[in-house]
Amino acid sequence: MSSYLGPPTTIRSWLFSTDHKRIGVMFLVATTVMLALGGVLALLLRIEHLTPGPTIMQAATYNRVFTLHGVIMVWLFMIPSIPAAFGNFVLPIMLGARDVAFPRLNLASFWIYVAGSLVTLAGVVASGADTGWTFYVPYAAETFTEVMPILVGVFILGWSTILTGINFIVTTHTLRAEGMRWREVPLFVWALYGTSVIQVLATPVLAMVLLLVAFDHGLGWGFFDPARGGDVVLFQHLFWFYSHPAVYIMILPAMGVVSEVVCTFARKVPLSYVAIAASTFGIAFVGFLTWGHHMFVAGMSIVDAGIFGALSMFVAIFSAIKVFTWVGTLYRGSISFRTPLAYVFVFLFLFVFGGMTGVAVASTSLDVHWHDTYFVVAHFHFIMVGGTLTAWLAALHYWWPKITGRRYAEKWGLVTCTLTFLGFFTTFFPQFLLGNGGMPRRYYLYDETYQALHVLSTAGSWALGSAFAITLVYLAWSLVYGERAEGNPWGSRSYEWLTSSPPPPHNFDGTPVFRHSPYDYHLPPGS
């Protein structure tokens, strides 16, 4: 039986394919390369912190490395990781469509991503910027490092994000299989829909603010230069107006993955479909109104700080709704503890405990002590990075048979998942304590009293790095030697498993008609 994997199998047939599945796979490969790059930079940063003084690099190098680590992980990995790779692959299949609404735009999105990445990485080769991924002015306008390629690169990447977002929204509206009602749309699609809305609405603001910084840095204009009537805090408002919702661009697709994996492996109707879908939009909406919580000590008005603090609590509420619903879905299920579910448990751990530290920082006065310390670093690495990464790994294992037609080695999966958890916890838990102890972030040198925790954190990073390397090896191994997957190895009722694995070029043989909800595990199969 022919599958999307070919024939044709030429490189050209991949690079210029408008098949959403091939584009999804290309995004998966490209973003994984970026993850590896960002990960190596992270390992270097951790090694540097083994000693309080200089260890393996100079201060100027250190500043460039943490900037590039952030830029690569945020824009080249986390934002496109789940939507552009797994979203592209499964969204049309979940809807029973042959492809996305605009297949050529989809291919354009991939090439724009490649172009943006290359421009950004060219900046790295040129000299590397030392502004931090946040580009705070006036430092970003004044730095002697090459910040321009990165600003331009991220600007270009924004277009890729916007195009993918538009494509998903239109596809969801127009290409659902005949008879699929809104209440039957899989939860992962709802998550991608919410994400796409944020991408389309927020990314232009980032594009705008990056252009303004580029004008300031490259042409000496003075939008943010106080000496010429500019406003340095205005930059932060504009930047976080995008970059806070961007956190939900990262985490909403991750939540979508969790919803799918929980229902499939518990063989259970979600405790509340409406609560999961609606809370997605609750987060997407409130997420636009919480950017100010990045600025409690930036010199904003006290009233604003109060409002932003209270609104931030609502994000916690919507997230809590999801968590309760997932846990409730496990109740009286028929639970098979496989690698994807194991990663969902790591997700839950990081998301729930990390999320609680989010409630703590939203309690405004506590943030005053924690702001710009390692506490915040640990907080967002738990919840945003940890959440996205573990859900990405869950998705990778869950849809691996769908994408490749092969089974990965389950034992290796579970063992590596445990190592990932231990590595993640050991890397970032000590950083909460460092932050409590008052260690500011982005510090090249630090006081000796912090060293023990730093060494522990570095040890954790090695475990985490090894876990990724092992994953890469056993997944690559399975491509050749893995057992062939049947159509539906997990016994899932979700629509993407109704077609063969790997799917045929046009997803379904014939026009699919879905006569059941994607989660009707209470009914005998085929009824």
Partner 1 sequence: MNELFRRILWLPVQGSTVAGEVDALHYAVITITMIGATGVFAAALYFTWRYRRTDEAALTPPIRAPLLLELAVVGGLLCLFLLFWRVGFQQYLRLQSPPADAIEIYVTGKQWMWKFAYPGGQRTNARLVVPAGRPVKLIMTSRDVIHSFYVPAFRIKQDVLPGRYTTAWFEVVRPGVYPLFCAEYCGTGHSEMEAEVVALSGADWEAWIAGAEEESMAAQGLEVAARRGCLSCHTLDGQRHVGPSFRGLYGGVRQLIDGEAIADEAYLTRSMMEPAAQVVAGYAPVMPTYLGQLDAGEVAALVELIKSLRHPNPPPPGVDYPPIAPAAPTEAAP
Indicate whether 460 belongs to the interface with partner 1 (CB under 8 A).
Answer: no
Indicate whether 37 belongs to the interface with partner 1 (CB under 8 A).
Answer: no
Site for partner 1 in 188-207 (CB under 8 A): none
DSSP annotation of 319 reads H
Q: Which stretch binds partner 1 (CB under 8 A): 268-276, 284-292, 394-402, 492-500?
A: 268-276
Task: Return the amino acid letter for 304.
Answer: D
Indicate whether 447 belongs to the interface with partner 1 (CB under 8 A).
Answer: yes
| Cα–Cα distance measured from residue 207 to residue 213, given in angstroms and rounded to the nearest whole number | 10
Indicate whether 325 belongs to the interface with partner 1 (CB under 8 A).
Answer: yes
Site for partner 1 in 56-75 (CB under 8 A): 59-60, 63
Structure tokens at 279: 């809370």
Indicate whether 487 belongs to the interface with partner 1 (CB under 8 A).
Answer: no
Q: Which stretch binds partner 1 (CB under 8 A): 83-91, 331-339, 385-393, 407-415?
A: 331-339
Between the CA of residue 312 and those of 45, 215, 324, what are the distances in Å? 31, 33, 19
Cβ proximity to partner 1, 89 vs 450, nearer residue? 450
Indicate whether 331 belongs to the interface with partner 1 (CB under 8 A).
Answer: yes
Indicate whether 305 belongs to the interface with partner 1 (CB under 8 A).
Answer: yes
Site for partner 1 in 158-177 (CB under 8 A): none
484 bridge partner residues = 406
Least distance to partner 1 from the beta carbon of 497, Å? 16
Indicate whether 394 belongs to the interface with partner 1 (CB under 8 A).
Answer: no
Cβ proximity to partner 1, 440 vs 505, nearer residue? 440
Q: Which stretch binds partner 1 (CB under 8 A): 121-129, 195-203, 324-332, 392-400?
A: 324-332
Among 6, 10, 142, 486, binds partner 1 (CB under 8 A): 142
Least distance to partner 1 from the beta carbon of 504, Å? 28
- Fill in the per-residue mask, 345 to 384: x = in contact with partner 1 (CB under 8 A), - = not in contact: x--xx--xx-xxx-xx-xxxxx-xx-xxx-----------
Cβ proximity to partner 1, 401 vs 502, nearer residue? 401
CA atoms within 13 A on the CB side of 416: 23
Indicate whether 511 belongs to the interface with partner 1 (CB under 8 A).
Answer: no
- Coil, helix or strand at residue 290: coil
Please state, as a whole number, how many other Cβ atoms lie within 10 Å of the Cβ of residue 313.
Answer: 15
Indicate whether 10 belongs to the interface with partner 1 (CB under 8 A).
Answer: no
Indicate whether 126 belongs to the interface with partner 1 (CB under 8 A).
Answer: no
Rg (CA), the chain: 23
Indicate whether 317 belongs to the interface with partner 1 (CB under 8 A).
Answer: yes
Please state, as a whole number, how many other Cβ atoms lie within 10 Å of the Cβ of residue 210.
Answer: 22
CA 75 to chain centre: 9
Structure tokens at 93: 């299949």
Task: Return the amino acid letter for 515.
Answer: R
Q: Which stretch binds partner 1 (CB under 8 A): 25-33, 133-141, 146-154, 385-393?
A: 133-141
- Would you call 201 exposed, middle or buried from its count of C-beta atoms within 10 A (0-12, 13-18, 19+)? middle
| Cα–Cα distance measured from residue 483 to residue 21, given in angstroms and rounded to the nearest whole number | 22
DSSP annotation of 483 reads P
Question: Using H for helix, E for strand and C for coil, what is the string for 31-46?
Answer: HHHHHHHHHHHHHHHH
Indicate whether 289 belongs to the interface with partner 1 (CB under 8 A).
Answer: no
Between the CA of residue 143 and those of 63, 64, 148, 229, what are the distances in Å? 12, 12, 11, 20
Indicate whether 481 belongs to the interface with partner 1 (CB under 8 A).
Answer: no
| Cα–Cα distance measured from residue 176 to residue 171, given in angstroms and rounded to the nearest whole number | 7
Q: Which stretch binds partner 1 (CB under 8 A): 76-84, 192-200, 267-275, 457-465?
A: 267-275
End-to-end CA distance of the chain: 27
Least distance to partner 1 from the beta carbon of 358, Å? 9
